[in-house]
Amino acid sequence: MNQNLAFADYAVFIIYFIVVSTYGYTVYRKRKQDEQDAKAYFLAEGNLTWWAIGASLIASNISAEQFIGMSGEGFFLGIAVAAYEWIAAIALIIVAVWFIPVYLKNKIYTMPQFLKTRYNESTALIMAVFWLFLYVFVNLTSILYLGAVAINGLAGGEYLHVIMIGLAVFALFISLGGMKVVAYTDVIQVAVLIIGGLVTSYIALTTVGQYFGVGENAIAGFKVLMREAPEHFKMIIPKPTATSSQLDIDKYLTFPGLMSYLAGIWIINLNYWGCNQYITQRALGADLQTARTGILFAGILKLLMPVIVMLPGIAAYVLYQNGHLPQLVGGKDGAYSAVLTFLPTGLKGLSVAALTAAIVASLAGKVNSISTIYTLDIHKKYIQKEAGEKQQVNIGRIAVFAAMLLAVLFTWNDILGIGGVGGFTYIQKYTGFISPGVFAMFVLGMFWKRTTGAAAIVGVILGFVLSVLFNEYAPMLFGNETLLYTAYPNGKGAYEIPFHICMGLSFLFTTLVMVAMSFAGPKINPKAFDIDSEMFKVKPQTTVLIVITLLIIVALYVKFW
């Protein structure tokens, strides 16, 4: 055994692996008839309960970039980064009440199908190809690379490629069984993820308490964090002034205070949770009430996530600032791994299992979405139109294998340079550029009957162009101070507009152009969805879940504003 993991740690991890694999195989055997039904295989149509949908949403969402990246942002920014999770809970309410009814009433199973039904086939094909490239070469590769690096660091640093292959094979084993196997194994994965994550946070807090002389008490340790790093417990990062340090400016560039809530963070969350095949796929095979309850359950779980993925980063910051964390390497992204070194034998294995659960669940969910889009939106329509149900399932499995193989090949020697920019930054950079245009195309397509197909195509292209313009060139072309934005020095000899503000500006101008173009078309587009108020009515139990979620969020913001 190496210096980091002992026999008990490996034993805990092996038990986790056996339990998940056995349960996944049991689910697969019970539903083997899904091989004769493509929609059952890809969507688990009619087979998922609300708790399976909610757990699967969280398991697919929380991965290495959250554990490593968000913990790192907790180290750097503090609790402000929790806004990604808490605003996501509100976004999930919006998706459950307003987006999902539109999808289900119009029998939408994939996001390209939505675009074809609402706009035209060209828009659907363009976006299907784009999503496949994005999922394979951005999301899948970054999840696999970050996950392998993180676990390799805990296992001694000598097994990167072995771990990479192990994660890929484990995810393949789950995903080849179809969406039902993915979703129900996600229930175990999210349980391990939450338990292991909470254990890590608990140990981090008790370690802080021990070092600062208040005893091994988690609550006392949390109070120490608030006392030693009060600036890390403010949700709103102040706007820089002429006397602000570069560190303060860097924090604002990452999360620009109140402006984040007026612009980018809503686009990020609503696009991710409402217009993303990888996420919505879990609910598209269920009835409306089951889908809504599952999504709202995921929203409640999101409220807990900062405790798991952000709090260890703040603990690492306080320990490091006081000389108690010499093992921290790699800057803020090394915070989570450094905290894990405090875990006793056995519990370290549980935390590795939690990290593995997050990675494998995300990989499995991602390749399932890749195979669904490729099979239903490309292969069946353009390559093998006569493919039967079983053939579609087999094609989907080949797509799963091909996608994972590509991910391994491109992360083997980090061809894409993920390690250079950081996995969290890598994902945000490439998905963020396209998000404003995609979200504008979806939201106008759902709720404004006049939106045209030409406007949708222009919107996607313009949203990307404007994102690049505001992020890379606007300060140089238009100056650092305009009516629309303020650019700040980034410490590298240039000026930047905060990324969230760039997204908001891109979305605003893209929407205006799409609206102007659509006014040139008919008052009601023939392909517009039929929407009525009855679709959006919610049952009393749904209202209760929404109110509980909103009250908790209000309390959190009142406490940490």
CATH number at residue 482: 1.20.1730.10
Beta carbons within 10 angstroms of residue 260's beta carbon: 27
* pLDDT recorded at residue 2: 41
Better-predicted residue by pLDDT, 115 or 155 = 115
Collapsed DSSP state (helix, strand, coil) of residue 489: strand
Give domain status of residue 176, yes or no.
yes
Average pLDDT of the segment spanning 29-55: 71
Collapsed DSSP state (helix, strand, coil) of residue 40: helix
Domain housing 330:
7-26+39-560
Checking if the pLDDT of 39 tops 70, the result is no
Share of the chain above pLDDT 90, in %: 39
Q: What is the C-alpha separation between 326 and 332, in angstroms, rounded? A: 13
pLDDT class of 425 with cuts at 50, 70, 90: low
* pLDDT recorded at residue 293: 95
> C-alpha distances in angstroms, 527 versus 115, 186, 403, 446?
10, 37, 33, 11
Q: What is the C-alpha separation between 68 and 404, in angstroms, rounded? A: 22
* pLDDT recorded at residue 36: 60
Least confident range from 66-70, 76-80, 292-296, 372-376: namely 66-70
- 429 residue type, one letter: K
Checking if the pLDDT of 33 tops 60, the result is no
* pLDDT recorded at residue 1: 31
Residue with tokens 């808490």: 86
Give domain status of residue 1, yes or no.
no
Closest residue by Cα to residue 301 from 167, 220, 186: 186
Residue 489, beta-bridge partner list: 495
- Highest-pLDDT range among 4-13, 127-136, 505-514: 505-514
Q: What is the C-alpha separation between 545 and 532, in angstroms, rounded? A: 23
225 membership: H or E segment, kind and range: helix 218-228
* pLDDT recorded at residue 59: 80
Give the sign of the dihedral formed by CA 506, CA 427, CA 303, CA 60. positive
> C-alpha distances in angstroms, 41 versus 34, 131, 182, 491, 558?
5, 20, 10, 51, 45
> C-alpha distances in angstroms, 314 versus 223, 332, 439?
12, 10, 33
pLDDT class of 486 with cuts at 50, 70, 90: very high
Give domain status of residue 31, yes or no.
no
Q: Are 161 and 411 in contact (CB under 8 A)?
A: no
Checking if the pLDDT of 441 tops 80, the result is yes
Average pLDDT of the segment spanning 515-542: 90
Mean predicted lDDT score pLDDT of the chain: 86
DSSP states of 294-336: HHHHHHHHHHHHHHHHTHHHHHHHHHHHTT--TT--SGGGGHH
* Structure tokens belonging to residue 504: 């908001």
pLDDT class of 46 with cuts at 50, 70, 90: low
Exposed, middle or buried: residue 147 (CB in 10 Å: 0-12, 13-18, 19+)?
Answer: buried
**Helical segments of 77-178, H only:** 83-94, 100-105, 111-118, 121-134, 141-154, 160-175
Give domain status of residue 34, yes or no.
no
R_g (Cα) of the chain, nearest Å: 23
* pLDDT recorded at residue 347: 81
* pLDDT recorded at residue 160: 84
* pLDDT recorded at residue 428: 67
* Structure tokens belonging to residue 317: 């910051």
Better-predicted residue by pLDDT, 375 or 10 = 375
Indicate the pairing of strand 488-489 with strand 495-496: antiparallel
Average pLDDT of the segment spanning 45-63: 81
Q: How far apart are the first and last CA of the chain?
A: 47
Q: What is the pLDDT of residues 192-250, one digit of tens each?
A: 888 888 988 999 999 999 999 888 889 999 999 999 999 999 999 999 988 889 989 98
Average pLDDT of the segment spanning 442-467: 94
Least confident range from 335-344, 445-454, 507-516: namely 335-344
Q: What is the C-alpha separation between 159 and 148, in angstroms, rounded? A: 9
pLDDT class of 190 with cuts at 50, 70, 90: confident
Structurally, how many domains does the chain consist of? 1
Q: Are 534 and 74 in contact (CB under 8 A)?
A: no
Give domain status of residue 193, yes or no.
yes
Give domain status of residue 99, yes or no.
yes
Give domain status of residue 32, yes or no.
no
Average pLDDT of the segment spanning 400-406: 92
Q: What is the pLDDT of residues 366-383, one digit of tens each?
A: 888 898 889 988 998 888
Give domain status of residue 359, yes or no.
yes
Checking if the pLDDT of 405 tops 90, the result is yes
pLDDT class of 315 with cuts at 50, 70, 90: very high
